[in-house]
Amino acid sequence: GEDVEQSLFLSVREGDSSVINCTYTDSSSTYLYWYKQEPGAGLQLLTYIFSNMDMKQDQRLTVLLNKKDKHLSLRIADTQTGDSAIYFCAERGSGGYNKLIFGAGTRLAVHP
């Protein structure tokens, strides 16, 4: 079945890089997404990667995709306190209605 797994918590020092990891099971997924959720708010799309890509960079964000291992990572360079949030990995399932399969989310805590 379809499943997405993430570690639940990550703590980093301000200015360091953060790496949030995700594994998924649906090998037919065409798009994989990273969303950010701040407390009490909805989800904000950060970035996405198409399955035929290995890497995508967008300013401080770098997404790496290892399709063979079904592993996705999000690297945030120069992590700031404003980056503290929950980060969700999601894959678009093989159904045609954009059903997104979400992981449980990784809570990123940035400390001085």
Partner 1 sequence: DGGITQSPKYLFRKEGQNVTLSCEQNLNHDAMYWYRQDPGQGLRLIYYSQIVNDFQKGDIAEGYSVSREKKESFPLTVTSAQKNPTAFYLCASSVFVSGTPTEAFFGQGTRLTVV
Q: Are 63 and 49 in contact (CB under 8 A)?
A: yes
Q: Which of 4, 74, 76, 110 binds partner 1 (CB under 8 A)?
A: 4
Per-residue binding string, partner 1, 27-46, x by CB under 8 A, is ----x-x-x----xxxxxx-
3 Cα distance to chain centroid: 14
| Interface positions, 48-87, toward partner 1 (CB under 8 A) | 48
Nearest approach in angstroms of CB 67 to partner 1 is 19
Give the nearer residue to partner 1 in terms of CB position, either 10 or 100.
Answer: 100
Q: Give the H/E segment covering residue 1.
A: none
Q: Which residues contact 95 (CB under 8 A, 6 or more apart)?
A: none
Nearest approach in angstroms of CB 14 to partner 1 is 26
Nearest approach in angstroms of CB 27 to partner 1 is 18
β pairing state of 61-66 and 55-58: antiparallel
